[in-house]
Chain A
Amino acid sequence: MPEHDMKDVRDIVINYHDGTSRKATVLDREVPYPEGKLIVSRTDTQGIITHANQAFVEMSGYTEEELIGTNHYILRHPDMPAVAFAGLWETIEAGNKWHGYVKNLRKDGAYYWVKATVIPNIRNGVVVGYTSVRRKPSRSKISESEALYKTLR
């Protein structure tokens, strides 16, 4: 870890809504969105990761083996308000498409912003899982989201 980052390091405990928690290191360092790429993952109906593309693996900092079978909340950043994800789940469980700006936590503690779209995977009329596709957000949308999320935490 470069020395200039040291002052921005925080060790925190993240509590998930299912009652579990984990210790995480959070750095105030943004990793730029990879140009031209889409970051793609799929989950089962419970939010357990079943697929992650190469861009997802690279940006999250985890290996594919670490990601598959893990709850998607592994990427949850403490700056993200719980209501944002409550809205996500309410929308997709009702069978609809959800859009939002998300700050994600990498394995190394750094973060990256995405514009995410999540949709239910419907096969023969049944929801069998969810797909999330992320694209590069604009700086203005990131600033707006940062300001909004501060008021919601």
Chain B
Amino acid sequence: MTLNLTVSPDFAPDHISGWFIFNTWLQRQLGTGVHLELYDCFDAQRQDIKSGKFDLVYANPFDASMLVRELGFKALVRPISKPDETIIATHKDSPLQCVEDLKPGAQLVATDDPDVNRIGMIMLEPADLDQTNTETTTVDSYVIVAKNVLNKNAEVGFFLKDAYDELSDLIKSQMKILVSSEISVVHHTLLLCPKLQKYAPKIQQRLVKMADDEKGRSVLESMNLLGWEVMTEEETEFMIDLIDTLLDE
């Protein structure tokens, strides 16, 4: 048997090799082949997930909803102390002091990361802004989001907080944060497909113990994670319900 693994494309490029090291580690732990496939685009990955190509998915919280409720996946673990938070930032010289200073017609720059973009738009609601009265430029990475903010091609940029924190000090010193989310209960999860549920306890157990030894810790470090903790079914449902309230249809 080979487990097909994929990872939500929203982690920093520096950690790509970390996921390949994880792939090898997991292979040894489970005594079975694990094949990792990475994407640089959310939509293409979602299509392949829906067509049943993957058994194990490290998913962003919005895709986790789809995986659980539509495809019957179950969340096994979540990364420890790593909530997904969103930052809206502007140029440090910008006259903007808070989100409410933005006016209709505001120019935004963002990646195609669905959870960051959704939370970002929610944080613009206090300024009466939405998709219909803002203009968004979509770019490939958070570094490019930052460049667009620094070049003043956009008034504000949306960032995954982790990605913002990893920008160079030089870039950060030229930016100003208008608002930073503090949601804390929305995070990535590692999910297993319905047909391989019999392996769930073993995978879960190995991952939870991963931070206990030197080797496991170094693999975690290369992925910029501290460790894994068990995600119960009710915790998963709770997170998905919460995300559901953030989708406006």
**Interface magnitude class on chain B:** 20 to 34
B221 interface residue (CB < 8 Å to A): no
Contact call A40/B180, Cβ cutoff below 8 A: no
B241 interface residue (CB < 8 Å to A): yes
| 22 A–B pairs (Cβ distance < 8 Å), ordered by A | A34-B182, A36-B179, A36-B180, A36-B182, A37-B181, A38-B183, A38-B242, A40-B242, A53-B185, A55-B182, A99-B248, A117-B245, A121-B237, A121-B241, A123-B237, A131-B242, A131-B245, A135-B122, A135-B125, A137-B126, A138-B126, A138-B128
Q: Mark A89-113, 1 if CB is under 8 A from B, else 0.
A: 0000000010100000000000000
List B contacts of A53 (CB < 8 A): 185
**Interface magnitude class on chain A:** 20 to 34
A35 interface residue (CB < 8 Å to B): yes
Number of CB contacts from chain A to chain B under 8 A = 56
Would you give the shortest CB distance from A64 to chain B, in whole angstroms?
A: 15
List A contacts of B100 (CB < 8 A): 138-139
Q: Could you tell me which residues of chain A, from 114 to 138, have a CB within 8 Å of some CB in chain B?
A: 115, 117-119, 121, 123, 131-133, 135-138
Main secondary structure of the interface of B (DSSP, over half): helix
Q: Mark B165-202, 1 if CB is under 8 A from A, else 0.
A: 00000000000000111110100000000000000000
Would A37 and B242 be within 8 Å (CB), given that A121-B237, A135-B125, A138-B126 are in contact? Answer: no
CA distance A139 to B126 in the complex (A): 7
Would you give the shortest CB distance from B184 to chain A, in whole angstroms?
A: 8
A46 interface residue (CB < 8 Å to B): no
Contact call B182/A37, Cβ cutoff below 8 A: yes
A residues near B (Cβ < 8 Å) are 33-38, 40, 42, 53, 55, 97, 99, 115, 117-119, 121, 123, 131-133, 135-141
CA distance A42 to B241 in the complex (A): 10
B37 interface residue (CB < 8 Å to A): no
B127 interface residue (CB < 8 Å to A): yes
Would you give the shortest CB distance from B146 to chain A, in whole angstroms?
A: 20
